[in-house]
Amino acid sequence: MSAPAIEVHNLVKQYGSVLAVDGISFAVAPGELVGFLGLNGAGKTTTMRILTTFMPASSGTAKVAGYDVMYQSDEVRSNLGYLPENVPLYPEMRVEEYLLFRAKLKRIDREGRTKRIDYCLERCRIKEVRRRLLSTLSKGYRQRVGLADAMLSDPKVLILDEPLTGLDPIQQEETLNTIRSLGGEHTVLFSSHHLPDVEKVCERAIVIHRGKIGFNDKLSVVQAKAPRYLVEVRGAEEKLTAFFKNYPGVENVVHASGTDDGVHNYELKTHEGQDLREALTKKLVEQGFGLRRLEQRRERLEDTFSRVIFDRE
């Protein structure tokens, strides 16, 4: 089994009396695409800055591509591409000129330099602005220039902090497609506040809250959880509640709301692997209840994220 591309063990970062990262541990396998999620101030950006050697940890260890971020920072940077949330660019330089400058700093061979720059311009869809001054670009284009910079040296690991910030919907979809295509070739740790985007491209998600990891698992595990059912039905509340509580396969019944004319909304939690829609519909009608809506809802990353956040409140 190959060594993890990113390995974090008991990582702590303290700013005076503030504990920003509180003893977290996780690993990311080579070629894996992982969403790294949390509220503002949760500790995710601090963790990314430690992984990218921008700041030291207070204690614990972290390795990127097998190199220790504290003691082998040069080797880490040689194997890492980093896109910060706010991309630092030189406004007086042109896009292509800037990427050439960055390629030289990253010691990319002269023979392959132009070809690699062209590849990144194409992949990040910024060829049309290659001769524009960076100062004239929109934030969306600046983000894509930053992504091209992160990809220049063909690094083993990419750490992307909010890469979709400032992009319009079309640019977001194009950038997501680019990030998705990087998985397998590169290990990608991808931070975003827009959870549906993470679901589109990532295999696994890590949720950090108040400096601790609250969730770390594959998204397929989230999606495989037992579905919930939202039911809108007309009838007497007492009879409906008793009916649902005694219905085979229903684990939990929540009466969400009701109206004076006898229309009630319920949320039902069921056992895994059961689809109750057809049988439940038939039984409700047979019992004389007026079924108005029956909707199955699968677990989403947003549900898991909210549970982590609010369970810790």
Q: What is the pLDDT of residues 234-285, one digit of tens each?
A: 999 999 999 999 999 888 899 988 888 899 999 998 876 678 889 999 999 9
**CA–CA distance from 59 to each of 38, 44, 215 (Å)?**
21, 16, 22
Selection from 168, 170, 166, 120 nearest residue 145 by Cα: 120
Give residue 172's pLDDT: 86
In the structure, what pLDDT confidence band is assigned to residue 296 with cuts at 50, 70 and 90? confident
Q: Where are the beta strands (DSSP E) in the chain?
A: 6-15, 18-28, 33-37, 59-64, 67-68, 80-83, 157-161, 187-191, 204-209, 212-218, 228-234, 250-258, 263-270, 290-297
Question: Options 3.30.70.20, 3.30.70.3190, 1.10.357.10, 3.40.50.1970; which CATH number does 226-297 get?
Answer: 3.30.70.3190
Selection from 43, 30, 86, 34 nearest residue 211 by Cα: 43
CATH 3.60.20.10 fits 6-222, yes or no: no
Give residue 273's pLDDT: 63
Percent of the chain residues past pLDDT 70, beyond the cut: 98
Distance CA 82, CA 70 (A): 17
Strand pairing partners for 7?
27, 63
Q: Which residue has the higher pLDDT, 194 or 188?
A: 188
Distance CA 21, CA 71 (A): 20
Q: Please report, for the chain, the start and end positions of each structural domain, with discontinuous segments joined by +.
A: 6-222, 226-297
Q: Are 153 and 106 in contact (CB under 8 A)?
A: yes
Q: Mean pLDDT across the stretch 73-82?
A: 95
Q: Which pTM was predicted? A: 0.82
In the structure, what pLDDT confidence band is assigned to residue 215 with cuts at 50, 70 and 90? very high
Distance CA 157, CA 186 (A): 6
Secondary structure element (H or E) that encloses residue 145, with its range: helix 139-151
Letter string b/e over residues 145-171, b meaning 16 or more CB atoms within 10 A of that residue's CB: bbbbbbbbbebbbbbbbbbbbbbeeeb
Give residue 272's pLDDT: 67
Give residue 303's pLDDT: 82
Q: Are 180 and 201 in contact (CB under 8 A)?
A: yes
Give residue 1's pLDDT: 59
Who's near 143: CB < 8 A, 6+ residues apart?
A: 83, 87, 163, 164, 165, 166, 167, 175
pLDDT digits (tens, 9 = 90+) for 127-173: 999 999 999 998 888 989 999 999 999 999 999 998 888 788 888 88
Selection from 303, 309, 306, 308 nearest residue 227 by Cα: 303
In the structure, what pLDDT confidence band is assigned to residue 313 with cuts at 50, 70 and 90? very low
pLDDT at 312 over 50: no
